[in-house]
C-alpha cells in the first residue's frame, strides 16, 4: 500500500472558552492520496473549517498527528495553499502582481509561472486589472492562482464559492476541475453544497457535529466532466443526502432524550 500524501491520525480539538470547553473534533482519521480531490461536507458546527485550519498549520493546538509528505505539520508553509471564503487580494496591486505576491515579476521564472497561471485560471487580458475591476469569481481565480504559484503539495479551499451567484459558482467549479486535471494538485474542499461536493470530488467526507467526527466517506466513481442531471450523479446525491439526514435524525433523538 502506498504512503498517503496527507495522514491524519486520531485528531481531536477542544476550544476553551469563558463558558466552558467545547470539543470541536474527535478522533478524526483520514488518509489522502497525492493528486486526490477530496470534498468535506456536513452541518454547521461540525468542524469542517477547523479541520482545514489544522491541515494548513494555522491551528496547532490539537491532539493526534497530522503529517504532509511524511513530515509533521507544525505551522503554515508554502507546501500548503489556503483559499478563504473571500479572495483577500491586495487592492493596490494588479492581477499579475497579486499572483506574484512577494516575488518579483522581473524574475524571468516568476514571470513565466505567473503568465502560465493566468492562462490556467482563464484571466488572459486582465493582467493589469485591479481587484476593484474584477467580478467575485475573477477575484477568486486570482486567489487560486496565487496559492498555486509555489506548487503547494496540497490546496485547501474553505467554501471559496459560497458568496457567488449560481451561474458564477457553476463556472468556477468547471475552472477548478480544469486546474485539477492539468496540475493534479491534491485538493481538499469544504462546502455546504451536496451537488458541489459530488461534482468536484474523488471522495466526499461527511462530518457529523458535536463533536465533529467522520460519519462516512462516499467514493465518487464518475467520469469527468460530470453532468449533475445524470442518473448516476443523482444516485450519489441521494446517498450523501441520506447520510446527512441520518445525522439530523440522530441529533433529534439526542435532543429529545429518547
What's the pTM value of the predicted model, to 2 decimals? 0.93
Q: Cβ distance 159 to 191 under 8 Å?
A: yes
Q: What is the mean pLDDT of each run of 10 residues along the chain (258 residues)?
A: 88 90 94 97 93 96 96 94 93 97 95 95 96 95 95 96 91 93 95 96 95 96 92 96 86 51
Q: Cβ distance 42 to 247 under 8 Å?
A: yes
pLDDT of residue 256: 44
Q: Cβ distance 197 to 204 under 8 Å?
A: yes
How far CA 196 is from CA of 48, 102, 129, 182, 189, in Å, comes to: 15, 33, 29, 20, 10
Identify the architecture of domain 1-78+186-258 in CATH: 3-Layer(aba) Sandwich (3.40)
Amino acid at each position: 500500500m502506498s504512503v498517503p500524501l496527507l495522514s491524519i491520525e486520531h485528531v481531536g480539538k477542544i476550544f476553551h472558552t469563558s463558558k466552558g470547553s467545547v470539543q470541536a473534533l474527535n478522533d478524526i482519521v483520514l488518509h489522502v492520496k497525492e493528486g486526490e480531490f477530496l470534498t468535506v461536507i456536513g452541518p454547521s458546527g461540525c468542524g469542517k473549517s477547523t479541520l482545514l485550519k489544522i491541515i494548513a498549520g494555522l491551528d496547532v493546538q490539537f491532539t493526534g498527528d497530522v503529517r504532509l509528505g511524511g513530515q509533521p505539520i507544525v505551522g503554515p508553509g508554502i507546501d500548503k495553499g489556503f483559499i478563504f471564503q473571500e479572495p483577500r487580494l491586495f487592492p493596490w496591486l494588479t492581477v499579475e502582481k497579486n499572483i506574484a505576491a512577494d516575488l518579483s515579476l522581473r524574475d524571468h521564472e516568476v514571470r513565466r509561472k505567473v503568465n502560465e497561471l493566468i492562462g490556467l485560471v482563464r484571466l488572459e487580458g486582465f493582467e493589469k486589472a485591479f481587484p476593484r475591476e474584477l467580478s467575485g469569481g475573477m477575484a477568486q481565480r486570482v486567489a487560486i492562482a496565487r496559492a498555486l504559484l509555489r506548487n503547494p503539495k496540497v490546496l485547501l479551499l474553505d467554501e471559496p464559492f459560497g458568496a457567488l451567484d449560481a451561474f458564477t459558482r457553476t463556472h468556477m467549479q468547471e475552472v477548478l476541475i480544469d486546474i485539477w486535471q492539468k496540475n493534479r494538485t491534491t485538493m481538499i474542499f469544504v462546502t455546504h453544497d451536496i451537488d458541489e461536493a459530488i461534482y468536484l470530488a474523488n471522495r466526499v467526507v461527511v462530518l457529523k457535529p458535536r463533536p465533529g467526527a467522520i460519519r462516512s466517506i462516499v467514493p465518487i466513481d464518475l467520469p469527468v466532466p460530470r453532468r449533475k442531471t445524470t442518473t448516476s450523479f443523482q444516485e450519489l446525491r441521494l446517498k450523501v443526502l441520506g447520510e446527512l439526514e441520518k445525522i439530523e435524525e440522530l441529533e433529534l433523538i439526542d435532543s429529545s432524550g429518547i
